[in-house]
Structure 1
């Protein structure tokens, strides 16, 4: 029989903090640096980690667009939540890989979403046990040309010293 861990949700300035057992998980992506494979002028990557669900980051239409968050330190990553736009364009988020790595060019698959998101959908990707990294990348992996337009990305983790 598996142990049951208490789960408590508290509101805070970085969306939410989660307490799972004795480890406090925080949204470690909040206000961090974001790079897009390409970007529209009024929709920079920073809009994907600003705590607001009504705006969004937006790439140009291209083959396999991606978004990479630099967490600026090493974290044990527990879960990554990706939220689709809620303005009639949620379908632009589809068929993507989520990767985590300590180096931006050496990333490991954390999870995959298959299908098309609906407006405002929350997509939870649970990383394998003891996934550690500084970078988180979300990349559309299907279709000839796509936009990457997430409303918000939350990365739940614990700082690793």
Structure 2
């Protein structure tokens, strides 16, 4: 929900959101690096723990358009996505689309060009009136990409 306040010809906007709606929700990815779910599972991206070491975060295999999907388990209005980038090799997070769906047809509602810096926290705003159950982050450009996401949060209102 956005609130607008007017005073002497200027406006102040505040964004109000609930808690992180992605926390503990089901995830899946286009792939997992080396099929090693112990170290690189997509579930690490929504466990509430920002990267504590060099493993235990989502790491896709190297592919053209890697993605991670979160099932919010209900249709919700989405304000923005917050991504905690990896502490090293941060440049791998680039050209990322936020795509949403209520079934199997995805529509892009946000985009981050990047590349991100090591350890950067990236907020990707969604278009107004973004309402969905499924949220997917997908790299859209390049050919030998991987997603490295220690933690991501989805803020709804």
TM, length-normalised to structure 1: 0.81
Which residue is equivalent to 2:48? 51
Which residue is equivalent to 1:110? 109
* Greater strand content: 1
Q: Is the 8 A contact 1:110 1:125 kept in 2?
A: no
2:32 and 2:71 mapped to 1: Cα distance?
17
Residue 93 of structure 1, CA deviation: 1.1
Between the two proteins, the alignment pairs up a number of residues equal to: 140
Which residue is equivalent to 2:80? 79
1:41-91 per-position Cα deviation (integer Å, ceiling 9, x unaligned): 1210001111111142011111100001011111110111112101x2212
* Greater helix content: 2
Q: SS state of the match for residue 137, structure 1? A: strand
Residue 151 of structure 1, CA deviation: 1.4
Bigger radius of gyration? 2
Structure 1 residue runs without a partner (length 5+): 8-19
Which residue is equivalent to 2:24? 31
Residue 115 of structure 1, CA deviation: 2.4
TM, length-normalised to structure 2: 0.83
Q: SS state of the match for residue 40, structure 2? A: coil
1:6 and 1:153 mapped to 2: Cα distance?
22
Correspondence list, 1:60-75, <5 A: 60-75=61-76
1:140 and 1:120 mapped to 2: Cα distance?
18
Alignment root-mean-square deviation, CA:
1.5
